[in-house]
Structure 1
């Protein structure tokens, strides 16, 4: 499959970003009869507008989208909502609450001030400087749910399955059994390092097993190329490996950052953005200690920048 719009057959489309790194997210479209459902918008208005234009050119039923599902609260999956604001926008209740915590204007301000942040600012700009956060109106969901929500797109049943907290607080899978397709949001990063902002890790592993047990031909991840059950198992293996390695170092008394620096990524070192292990270990340590205290986001980005080779000590 290539970047851009891919026809999966039977009225299902996958939009694949050109990169699996920070902010470059995938999306999807399910149509039947006269109805359409969009899975996620993108990180800024230009990206989302381009995606919608390609969808409408290829699929007439995408010219009026009735339903949008945001798989979770990160901006690269919902910042484009205003371009489909006449649709019913659905997310889990937990995601809807989380969306307001890092609005696009905050990202725009951080990019604008990155020059004053030294190497940390350079890392932040390298991650996010390609996106346009100014002028985006945060457009929240108009409908929320907990657990599971069953929808119809034409004659197709589509199941929204809340599997968070995991990557974020309210991650959702979008499963179309007739199409043998699941859109996973950021439960799956393929050929890229997952990042666990929330946890617990057990929920994420359980979500992977749920996908592994599905009768599907098409698995559309939140980031990276289309995958199959082997790709799901690789993500699960990463999570299990990092959990076990972090636990050993937690029991030995290492700090979260020292543990992140010490863990050998082995089979996963070729994945993009390996420095995300700093966040993953920090979240695991929070889980191990049963603390609600959250590490400052700038500290987490500083740790990732350091692991990525930026000299944040100066």
Structure 2
């Protein structure tokens, strides 16, 4: 992307295959997100040294755009760096540490946890959660924060709750670049763990307003404003379809199976509709109950295996 900025892109963009970014100038460097396990993160850091000339020891700051492990599980490989995240993300990381994922994957692989466990073990088979050493954020913020990386002023803009409780986008105005974390899934289905949908749509509107020449999504290929609008359109679509069924008296599981995805059916991981409908349900019913992750993996599994 030039100007001392690079994007690390993982080609599949599906479950666990996230993107990251590097900001470097004047001998200083910051990393935007780590990857889903330490081996993947180590490969990325070695490649950055070989191709960008940036050694991991010179990376003084890691920004975690949100709490999910595919953006945080490599933090321990930057033991000397400050780890920056929103306060809401830090709380979420403590509530769902790598050990929990390792336990769920092992149980699923052993035939436990039913169809949810089978699905969990299958989609996360390439990743080594058991080898992840948890490293929590060392600096948190709410709202807006800033970094200086050499001559680059960097804005950290909290836009969650949306995908998760504390989503952050990373804007480098001087390089006309934005790293969006999982506010953007390109060619893949967004998953609304937290909501509300309106916050996520507002975050997409904000990204469009930044007039960035380079937009790095959390998953999938580099995109532009048209790609941002595609995500916005999906969110409007899924909310409208879910609300229509909510008002008709359907339950969230029935509604998720009833919605015809149309042009979105070909997006990766379309079964995430089960989570998205449930989140809309909880909002519209006024429920403050947290998402039941195991139950939702079970609903996704049912759709996934029924459509294979």
Q: TM bucket by the smaller chain?
A: over 0.9
Corresponding position of 1:107 = 101
* Cα displacement (A) at 1:310: 5.2
Deviation digits for residues 266-295 of structure 1, max 9, x if unmatched?
A: 111110000000000000011111110234
Distance 1:190 1:295 in 2: 24
2:260 maps to 1:267 = no
Q: 2:238 aligns with which of 235, 242, 251?
A: 242
Distance in 1, Cα, partners of 2:253 & 2:291: 11
Q: Distance in 2 between matches of 1:218 and 1:93?
A: 27
Matched, 1:187 2:180: no
Corresponding residue pairs, total:
304
Equivalent of 2:85, from 84, 91, 99? 91
Tell me the distance in 2 between the aligned counterparts of 1:262 and 1:176. 42
Q: Does 1:297 align with 2:305?
A: no
1:116 corresponds to which of 104, 111, 114:
111
Aligned counterparts, 1:26-65, within 5 A: 26-63=19-56, 64-65=58-59
* 8 Å Cα contact 1:183-1:220 kept in structure 2: yes
Q: Is the 8 A contact 2:61 2:84 kept in 1?
A: yes
Instruction: Extract unaligned runs of 5+ from structure 1.
Output: 1-7
TM-superposition CA deviations, 1:152-172 (whole Å, max 9, x none): 111111000000000000000
Of stretches 230-239 and 302-311 in structure 1, the one that deviates more from structure 2 is 302-311
Corresponding residue SS for 1:219: strand
Measured in 2, the distance between the counterparts of 1:146 and 1:191 equals 30
Instruction: Name the CA distance, whole Å, in 1 between partners of 2:264 and 2:306.
Output: 21
| Contact 2:111–2:118 (Cα < 8 Å) also in 1 | no
RMSD: 1.2
Deviations 1:213-246 (A, max 9, x none): 1121110000000001111000000000111111
Matched, 1:80 2:67: no
Q: Indicate the residue corresponding to 1:225 in structure 2.
A: 221
Offset of residue 109 of structure 1: 1.5
2:153 aligns with 157
1:245, 1:119 → 2: CA distance? 26
The 8 Å contact of residues 120 and 310 in structure 1, kept in 2 or not, is answered as no
Looking at structure 2, the residues matched to 155 and 233 of structure 1 have their Cα atoms a distance apart, in angstroms, of 31
The Cα shift of 1:122 comes to: 2.2
SS at match of 1:9: coil
Cα distance in 2, alignment partners of residues 93 and 232 from structure 1: 26
TM-score by length of 2: 0.96
8 Å contact kept, 1:31–1:154 = yes
Distance in 2 between the 1:288 and 1:119 partners? 28
Distance 2:118 2:90 in 1: 31
With the length of structure 1 as denominator, give the TM-score of the two structures.
0.94
What is the alpha-carbon distance in structure 2 between the residues aligned to residue 258 and residue 133 of structure 1? 33
- Distance in 2, matches of 1:297 and 1:247, equals 21
Deviation at 1:106, TM superposition (A): 1.5
